[in-house]
């Protein structure tokens, strides 16, 4: 698969490295594609890895990971041009700047807002409810960490499910994109547990069923 990754921070680097290692062609969309940081990242992201401007990076991509901070989500989307028909994986959480809470929740969500800002795109919410450490290794003993995802387009969801599964998570379909209203507060619970309740970021959610 050709995967564009917008944002070369913790999440972009972790997932780009893992998908590159799994054999996908990763293209980072960065404000500074020539920087040393991004060039070092390329060396860890598989033989076909490349770095371009955000707008160029998405050309020909089968899936686009949107991994930028929530406050710049809208302006970043506006630089990309027409996204209709594209699979856009939204991992953002609408965090307040001090991480004490979220800006949106329950009656609207970042996932739905991002869909409104990218008309026609097939937005799938995923990778928002685990830390970078867990993205790098979702295996906990014999258990795989759960990764929830949701979206309105069945084909885009299947693509994302595959990308979740390939890097070792247990994918759980949470329904339509409006379920982002639950997945984003869930991420806030994660952050609360990890950073305020002393769990640290080497913990993960696990759904059990019988």
Ligand X SMILES: NC(=O)c1ccc[n+]([C@@H]2O[C@H](COP(=O)([O-])OP(=O)(O)OC[C@H]3O[C@@H](n4cnc5c(N)ncnc54)[C@H](OP(=O)(O)O)[C@@H]3O)[C@@H](O)[C@H]2O)c1
Q: With respect to ligand X, which residue has the nearer C-beta, 10 or 168?
A: 10
Query: Contact between 85 and ligand X (CB under 6 A)?
Result: no
- Does residue 132 bind ligand X (CB under 6 A)? yes
With contacts defined by CB under 6 A, name the span among 3-11, 17-25, 101-109, 142-150 that binds ligand X.
Answer: 3-11
- 70 contributes a contact to ligand X by CB under 6 A: yes
The answer to whether the CB of 77 falls within 8 A of the CB of 117 is yes
Q: If DSSP codes are grouped into helix, strand and coil, which group holds residue 149?
A: strand
CB of 45 to ligand X, least distance (A): 13
Instruction: Answer yes or no whether residue 50 interacts with ligand X by CB under 6 A.
Output: no
| 70-78, 142-150, 155-163, 170-178 -> range binding ligand X (CB under 6 A) | 70-78
**Spatial CA neighbour of 65 closest among 141, 197, 164, 186:** 164
If the CB atoms of residues 73 and 209 are measured against ligand X, the closer one turns out to be 73
Query: Which pair of structure tokens corresponds to residue 68?
Result: 């930028």
Question: Which of 5, 27, 30, 114 touches ligand X (CB under 6 A)?
Answer: 30
DSSP symbols for 53-78: -HHHHTTT-SEEEE-S-GGGHHHHHH
21-26: long-range contacts at Cβ-Cβ below 8 A with a sequence spacing of 24 or more?
A: 21/45, 21/46, 22/166, 22/167, 25/1, 25/49, 25/50, 26/50
Min separation Cβ 160 and ligand X, Å: 14
Interface residues toward ligand X, by CB under 6 A: 7-12, 30-32, 38, 67-70, 72, 76, 91-93, 95, 127-128, 131-132
């Amino acid at each position: 698969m050709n995967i564009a990754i917008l944002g070369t921070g913790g999440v972009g680097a972790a997932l780009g490295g893992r998908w590159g290692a799994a054999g996908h062609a990763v293209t980072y969309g960065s404000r500074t594609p020539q920087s040393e940081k991004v060039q070092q990242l390329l060396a860890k992201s598989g033989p076909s890895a490349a770095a371009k401007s955000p707008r160029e990076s998405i050309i020909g991509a089968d899936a686009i990971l949107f991994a930028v901070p929530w406050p710049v989500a809208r302006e970043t989307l506006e630089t990309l041009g027409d996204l209709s028909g594209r699979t856009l994986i939204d991992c953002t959480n609408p965090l307040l700047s001090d991480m004490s809470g979220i800006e949106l929740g329950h009656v609207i969500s970042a996932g739905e807002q991002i869909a409104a800002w990218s008309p026609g795109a097939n937005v799938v919410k995923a990778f928002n409810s685990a830390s970078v450490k867990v993205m790098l290794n979702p295996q906990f003993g014999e258990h795989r960490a759960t990764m929830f995802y949701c979206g309105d387009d069945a084909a885009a969801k299947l693509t994302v499910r595959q990308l979740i599964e390939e890097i070792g998570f247990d994918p759980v379909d949470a329904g339509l994109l409006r379920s982002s209203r639950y997945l984003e507060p869930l991420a806030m619970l994660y952050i609360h547990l990890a950073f305020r309740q002393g769990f640290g970021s080497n913990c993960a959610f696990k759904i059990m069923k019988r």
